[in-house]
Amino acid sequence: DFYKPGEYDLAGFAVGIVSNDRIIDGSEISVGDQIIGLASSGLHSNVYSLVRKIVFEKLKMSVDDIIEPCKRTVAEELLEPTKIYSESILSTTKNFKVKGIAHITGGGLPDNIARILPSACQAVIFKDTWEMLPIFDFLKTHGNIDDEEMLRVFNCGIGLVMVVSKDDIEEILHNLEAMEEKPFLIGEIRKRKEKEPSVVFEEKPKDSQ
């Protein structure tokens, strides 16, 4: 059986309601728009089957062992609460035009951003433009996971993505910082050619800010 005697699964969900004229479905995303990533708090309760395999089966660690790069115990790191972005989203959408929002869960940046893009648009994510939390480097090293798989499996330090107009970028970043978020300008929208992937990762151009 999946559960041992005396064990049970506890799950929860939330339902949101929005009027039709306020739905953000990505249809207004266009070439030149900017991509903002909001820092995650950690694993965000995701991909724990792989995490357990690396930490408990491969490394034989206990919940009280210290993950040295994190300076925290296994229990503290794995039980870090998932960051909730609702207040920051509400504030930003109230004051600015937000064209697309993607919650970065299973599927990582590639799959979740792809879901909100019009077919003619491509999201270009610039590598090394945000802070990779120590837990992800730890799992990458000890799990022998390559860069592409890491980005597709974990949030890698970005818990939520917003697509906004280039004209509003500075004000939106300032607004998010005022909301005590840690925003990063991680990419831009370009025209997508036929058969090209919806999301690509590139080095950041040297002449960009």
- Percentage of the chain with pLDDT > 90? 86
pLDDT of 10 above 90: no
The pLDDT value recorded for residue 51 is 97
Q: What is the CATH number of the domain that holds 159?
A: 3.90.650.10
Query: Per the domain annotation, does 191 fall within a domain?
Result: yes
The Cα 86–Cα 134 span in angstroms is 25
- Which pTM was predicted? 0.91
Any domain includes 144:
yes
pLDDT in the model for residue 8 = 86
Min mean pLDDT across 44-48, 88-92, 117-121 is at: 44-48
- Which of the 8 DSSP states describes residue 166? G
Work out how many domains the chain is built from and give that number. Answer: 1
3 state DSSP class of 2: coil
Q: For residue 10, tell me if it sits in a domain.
A: no
Q: Which of 61, 196, 202, 201 minimizes the C-alpha distance to 138?
A: 61
Q: In what order do the strands lie in the sheet with 121-126?
A: 98-103, 158-164, 34-39, 183-191, 121-126, 199-202
Q: Does residue 209 carry a pLDDT above 60? A: no
Q: How many Cα atoms sit within 13 Å of 73 on the Cβ side? A: 7
pLDDT at 145: 97
| Least confidently predicted of 14-28, 61-75, 157-171 | 14-28
Task: Give the Cα separation of 209 and 188 in Å (integer).
Answer: 12
